[in-house]
Each structure stands twice: as structure tokens, then as C-alpha cells.
Structure 1
């Protein structure tokens, strides 16, 4: 019985990978808007029901693909033991800046795809930061939980990356990384005075 379960899991993983691979190929060939679920299942040589067993629609598959690509990028840039420290935070911010700029520079996001991109990248970013903060037992300032801190930092990093990628400010990635890190680490503390 356990062997049957493992075999079913293996088939399920294989089908999921075939769907993701077919989706990536079709993105390069046809683009997201032109491709259909039938195109994806035909290319993957699976039934339509198999697609729906893994993804509710092609937008969910797109979001998963964005998440996978971003995770792969982070794994290549961050050390395996990365955690919440200045060096790793700098690498993370720079990676997000470069990734967002590369994507926004190559394509003109479609209204329905742009929110998926934001949700996928920011979601992965918040998850990673939450893990990092949880490992150091962070719950500060003023008792703010780690998940709230991670959420706010993910918005700050992603939002800065989007604005910077639009190229309004002609500053380099190193300068922008420094600016984002200054906000994340010092915030508005320096602007507040004792006489406030």
C-alpha cells in the first residue's frame, strides 16, 4: 500500500513538472495571452483533468512559475545558511532590485499578470524574511511579531524595486541597495527628535 502511494506521488510530481516545462516552452513560443490550457496539456501529453488536479487555471501556473524562478535565483545568490544579517540582507535586496528591473525592462506587464508577479515575488520575499526573523527570535520593535515585520519589509523592498526599475532615478544598483537597507535598518528613527 505504501509503495502505491509513493508511485502515485512520483507520477503526480512528474505530471506537475511536465506541465511547468510545457508552460515555460509555450511562454517563449506564444506568450501567456495566446496560450491555452489545451496547448499546455497537449505539449505535456497529459489529460486536461491532470492539469486541473494541479492548477485551477493558467494564472496559477504562471504564479507558480514566477515563484519557482525567483526561488532558484535566490538559491544561486544567497548562501545555503543565509539568515538575517547585514551581508545576507544586502544580497537579498540587490537580487530583488536586479530581478525586478530585468523583468520590467524586458516586457510591458499585462494588467492581469502584473499583480501575479507582485504577489508571487513579494510572497516569496515575505516568507524568506519571516523564516530569517523567526530563526533569530525577532519580535521587535515594540513587540511587533516577526510575520508583520517580514510583511512590511517585503513591501518596502519590492516597492522600491518596482519604482527603481521604472528608471525615474538614474542611480545604480549599489546606491539603491544602500538606500533600501538604510530604510530597513534605520527607518525614520533619525528623523524623529526628542522634542518631536
Structure 2
């Protein structure tokens, strides 16, 4: 017998999925700016109060969707307790390449129309990942917060911007060539930062 809480969980999950599916369907038809909560609610079909029970607004829905997509790629490749080193930097570069490619292939209109919002969301997630990996190195004192934050921003921004540039090129290069181009720079910066 299904308990009331299990039934409620299924209903919540179903409504969440309906809202997200409606949003993605609309995002294939029009730009992000032109999509309204009313459009999403009608397409789902759920009432607006149900939408707002799940998401604050369409920006929160976009953030949730992008975070889920990005973190599913990350979690399939990197354990949360890993240190930042050559192997994990290589993985992060390849993850970002895959993310850009996946978004462009599967959600091209959304990827273009909400590019700035997506960039901000993913860069912040990438910063969190890099910061956690840096903290796992144990080479930083408790007083090195400013240094850690600066290193985190430089590494995560470097990875994000380089992979976004790679993706935006008309003729996509082999990802292994991109890794060869930027990994030595990242490793050198990381080693230098840890020594100081």
C-alpha cells in the first residue's frame, strides 16, 4: 500500500516534471525572454499556484534546469572529495566541453537566448567545485581565504571561458587538442599558487 507521503512525493515530482517539460517545449519555440509563467502553466497543464509552489519564477526554473544538467555531467565523472590536480583539471575541461555541446545540441534555442544567465549559473557551480577541490589539497591555511577565492575564480573562469570559446568556433576542434592547449597553463598556475 502506498503511503500518503509517497503519493504526495509522486505528485510533487510529476508536477515538477510537467513544468520542466513544458518550459523546454516552449524554449524550442521561442526565446527565453518571451516565455511567461502563464505560458508554462498552460502548457504543463498546471495552475500558476502549482508553478509557484515549485519555482519562484522562470529564472529560478532555468537555474534549476541548468544546475541539474550540469551537475549530472559532473557527478558522473568526478567524486566530490577529489583534489584539484592535473587529472581533475583535465576532467573539468572535458566536462565543460560536453556541457556546451550537450546544451547546444539538445536545447539550442534556450542555450542562445539565455546565454548570459546560463553562463553565470554554470560559472558559479564550477567555482564551487574548484573551491571544494582546492580545499581538499590541504595546502592552504585557514587564513588563506582571499587567496583561495582568487585562485578559484581564475581557474574556473579560465576553464569556462576557454571551453565556451572552443565551442563557439565554427569548426570544433578535438577536445584533446583543447586540453593540450590549456592544461599546462592551468597546472602551472595551480602549482605556483600552492607553493606561495
| Structure 2, unaligned runs of 5 or more | none
- Report the counterpart of residue 124 of structure 2 in structure 1: 123
- Distance (Å, rounded) in 2 between the aligned partners of 1:14 and 1:145: 44
- Distance (Å, rounded) in 1 between the aligned partners of 2:19 and 2:61: 8
- Distance (Å, rounded) in 2 between the aligned partners of 1:122 and 1:176: 19
Q: Tell me the TM-score normalised to structure 1 length.
A: 0.72
- Report the counterpart of residue 189 of structure 2 in structure 1: 187
- Distance (Å, rounded) in 1 between the aligned partners of 2:190 and 2:89: 19
Superimposed CA distance per residue, residues 29-85 of structure 1 (whole angstroms, 9 cap, x where no aligned partner): 556455431232234343212323443321321222111111111222335654423
- Distance (Å, rounded) in 1 between the aligned partners of 2:43 and 2:172: 43
How far does residue 13 in structure 1 lie from its aligned partner after superposition? 5.6
Structure 1 residues 82 and 187, CA, compared in 2 at 3 Å: closer, same or farther?
closer
- Report the counterpart of residue 162 of structure 1 in structure 2: 164
> CA-atom RMSD, angstroms?
3.5
Q: Find 2:174's aligned residue among 172, 175, 182.
A: 172
| Structure 1, unaligned runs of 5 or more | 191-196
Structure 1 residues 68 and 27, CA, compared in 2 at 3 Å: closer, same or farther?
same
- Distance (Å, rounded) in 1 between the aligned partners of 2:173 and 2:182: 13
Task: Give the 5 Å matches for 1:1-196.
Answer: 10=9, 15-28=15-28, 32-79=32-79, 82-103=82-103, 106-107=108-109, 109-110=112-113, 113-139=114-140, 143=144, 144-167=146-169, 171-187=173-189
More helix by share: 2
- Distance (Å, rounded) in 2 between the aligned partners of 1:188 and 1:45: 50
Contact 2:78–2:88 under 8 Å retained in 1: yes
Higher relative CO (Cα under 8 Å, sequence separation at least 6) belongs to 2
Structure 1 residues 138 and 38, CA, compared in 2 at 3 Å: closer, same or farther?
farther
Number of equivalenced pairs: 184
Superimposed CA distance per residue, residues 122-170 of structure 1 (whole angstroms, 9 cap, x where no aligned partner): 1111111111122223438x94543332222111111111222222787
Contact 2:26–2:40 under 8 Å retained in 1: yes
Q: Tell me the TM-score normalised to structure 2 length.
A: 0.72
